[in-house]
């Protein structure tokens, strides 16, 4: 599928100045998702003191608007409300990345009081959830809605969903996008993440400090993992089969390939019944740079109040082609179906993430300007590959097996 990165806005995120950072207060989790990249350690809670030290390291090394509180599952940590408060006290937006299993309304109210900005619920059909094992991706929309309604009932919290996309769940993606539109008033962000694994016994050997190592103990190592080559453009193409106008506005490239789409962002404006259009590159540039001018940081997760201002955003039509098209569609609807057009219009983001790709010569194409950097010892490290320095002391070097042909 043809997508020209030069026509999209390159998100301005970098190592020292980024939209978000990634805190892992615990390695404990109450689920065992197929695509998980971390070893579950039920005793893996960090102390509040260590977490405070990591937060200080983030603020010293990196300007950041939000912090994703992940894990493990962060809700398993007994001090989760304190952790949220510690982030908020530093003037940073705390966003919980959770499977939601331990989420109850009372706890959510407590977390909001502590300063929670929003939640990203990881829900997909390969999580082996109790009572949901036999349900497909579309059937999981029922579970997504339960959480979205709980979050909406507490109010003023960002509600985001992410899911890992596998070869056999790729066809369900458009149905989740359609579900997102149906609940555009309470669901602000949807994220699709292509599944990745490191193949053992494949075309590569793995080295640390010149010594060959056994890669198989890592949680993301697999002998046969099914499709690990799904690209963000494959997911986009699948979405477009159902929504032909679906148009991304911004991207993050890979560290090796300037034209790979590691993060691909689409913003749509509309109502539950009708999407008026998709914001363009200039809109996203304006959103990121104006936030940076005003607050000194790149924008992470606008507030729910901003997401509700879809119609006001259309006033930016003279500056952005995508918004201009959306405003045109809105005015046509106003002329033909005025009652429908007078309802509230919303903005919803759909992000597609294509994590680490191993190129034929062993180079790893990571996200350039990785927003999900976490702390390892006294430095920043890719959270998706954290198990490597934890296991071997440093990141693993990937080398094509001797005698294997390398295609560049």
List, in order, residues 6 or more apart from 25 with CB less than 8 Å away.
45, 46, 51, 69, 71, 72, 74, 77, 79, 80, 83
The answer to whether residue 236 forms part of the interface with ligand SF4 (CB under 6 A) is no
Please report, as residue ranges, which positions from 251 to 310 form the binding site for ligand SF4 (by CB under 6 A).
262
Quote the CA–CA distance of 295 and 299 in Å, as a whole number.
Answer: 9
Sole binder of ligand SF4 in the list 382, 388, 396, 398 (CB under 6 A): 382
For residues 285 and 45, is the Cβ–Cβ distance under 8 A? no
Q: Which stretch binds ligand SF4 (CB under 6 A): 153-161, 210-218, 328-336, 363-371?
A: 363-371
The answer to whether residue 371 forms part of the interface with ligand SF4 (CB under 6 A) is yes
Sole binder of ligand SF4 in the list 65, 320, 357, 372 (CB under 6 A): 372
Nearer to ligand SF4, 100 or 371 (CB): 371
User: Closest approach of Cβ 83 to ligand SF4, in Å?
Assistant: 20
> Percentages helix, strand, coil for the chain, rounded to the nearest 5?
35, 25, 45
Tally of CA atoms within 13 A in the half-sphere of 345 that contains its CB:
27
User: Closest approach of Cβ 97 to ligand SF4, in Å?
Assistant: 11
136 C-beta neighbours (distance < 10 Å), count:
13
Kind and range of the H or E run holding 147: helix 141-154
Q: Which stretch binds ligand SF4 (CB under 6 A): 73-81, 335-343, 380-388, 389-397?
A: 380-388
Q: Which stretch binds ligand SF4 (CB under 6 A): 9-17, 282-290, 291-299, 379-387?
A: 379-387
φ and ψ at residue 45, rounded to 5 degrees: -75, 135
For residues 369 and 280, is the Cβ–Cβ distance under 8 A? no
Place of tokens 């640390």: 208
User: Closest approach of Cβ 356 to ligand SF4, in Å?
Assistant: 6
Nearer to ligand SF4, 352 or 367 (CB): 367
Sole binder of ligand SF4 in the list 329, 366, 380, 398 (CB under 6 A): 366
User: Closest approach of Cβ 47 to ligand SF4, in Å?
Assistant: 24
Strands (E), 354-407: 357-358, 364-365, 373-376, 379-382, 397-400
The answer to whether residue 384 forms part of the interface with ligand SF4 (CB under 6 A) is yes
The answer to whether residue 206 forms part of the interface with ligand SF4 (CB under 6 A) is no
The answer to whether residue 370 forms part of the interface with ligand SF4 (CB under 6 A) is yes
Asked whether the CA dihedral 301, 304, 305, 306 is positive or negative, the reply is: positive
The answer to whether residue 383 forms part of the interface with ligand SF4 (CB under 6 A) is yes
Sole binder of ligand SF4 in the list 158, 367, 380, 398 (CB under 6 A): 367
Closest to 192 (Cα-Cα) out of 309, 69, 35, 61:
35
Kind and range of the H or E run holding 307: helix 304-307
Please report, as residue ranges, which positions from 318 to 357 form the binding site for ligand SF4 (by CB under 6 A).
355-356
The answer to whether residue 194 forms part of the interface with ligand SF4 (CB under 6 A) is no
Quote the CA–CA distance of 255 and 369 in Å, as a whole number.
Answer: 8
The answer to whether residue 358 forms part of the interface with ligand SF4 (CB under 6 A) is no
Binding stretches for ligand SF4 (CB under 6 A): 262, 355-356, 366-367, 370-372, 382-384
């Amino acid at each position: 599928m043809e997508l020209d990165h030069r026509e999209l806005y390159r998100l301005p995120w970098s190592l020292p100045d980024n939209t978000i950072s990634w805190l892992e207060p615990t390695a404990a989790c109450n689920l065992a998702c197929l695509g998980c990249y971390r070893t579950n350690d039920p005793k893996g809670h960090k102390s509040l003191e260590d977490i405070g030290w990591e937060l200080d390291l983030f603020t010293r090394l990196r300007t950041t608007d939000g912090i994703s509180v992940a894990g493990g599952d962060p809700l398993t940590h007994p001090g989760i409300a304190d952790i949220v408060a510690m982030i908020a006290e530093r003037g940073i937006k705390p966003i919980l990345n959770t499977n939601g299993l331990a989420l109850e309304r009372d706890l959510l109210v407590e977390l909001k009081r502590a300063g929670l900005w929003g939640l990203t619920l990881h829900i997909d059909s390969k999580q082996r959830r109790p009572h949901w094992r036999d349900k497909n991706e579309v059937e999981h929309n029922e579970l997504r809605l339960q959480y979205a309604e709980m979050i909406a009932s507490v109010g003023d919290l960002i509600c985001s969903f992410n899911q890992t996309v596998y070869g056999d769940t790729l066809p369900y993606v458009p149905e989740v996008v359609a579900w997102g539109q149906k609940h555009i008033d309470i669901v602000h962000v949807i994220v699709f993440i292509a599944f990745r694994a490191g193949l053992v016994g494949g075309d590569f050997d793995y080295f640390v400090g010149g010594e060959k190592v056994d890669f198989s103990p890592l949680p993301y190592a697999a002998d046969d993992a099914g499709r690990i080559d799904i690209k963000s453009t494959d997911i986009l193409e699948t979405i477009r089969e159902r929504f032909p106008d679906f148009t991304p506005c911004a991207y993050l490239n890979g560290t090796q390939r300037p034209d790979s789409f590691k993060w691909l962002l689409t913003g749509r404006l509309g109502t539950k019944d009708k999407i008026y259009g998709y914001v363009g590159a200039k809109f996203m540039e304006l959103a990121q740079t104006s936030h940076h001018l005003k607050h000194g940081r790149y924008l992470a997760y606008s507030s729910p109040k901003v997401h509700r201002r879809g119609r006001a955003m259309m006033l930016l039509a003279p500056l952005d082609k995508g918004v201009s098209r959306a405003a045109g569609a809105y005015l046509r609807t106003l002329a033909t179906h005025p009652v429908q057009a007078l309802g509230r219009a919303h903005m919803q983001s759909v992000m597609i993430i294509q994590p680490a790709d191993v190129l034929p010569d062993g180079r790893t194409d990571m996200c350039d300007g990785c927003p999900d950097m976490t702390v390892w010892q006294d430095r920043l490290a890719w959270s998706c590959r954290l198990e490597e320095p934890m296991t071997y002391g440093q990141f693993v070097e990937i080398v094509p097996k001797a005698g294997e042909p390398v295609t560049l």
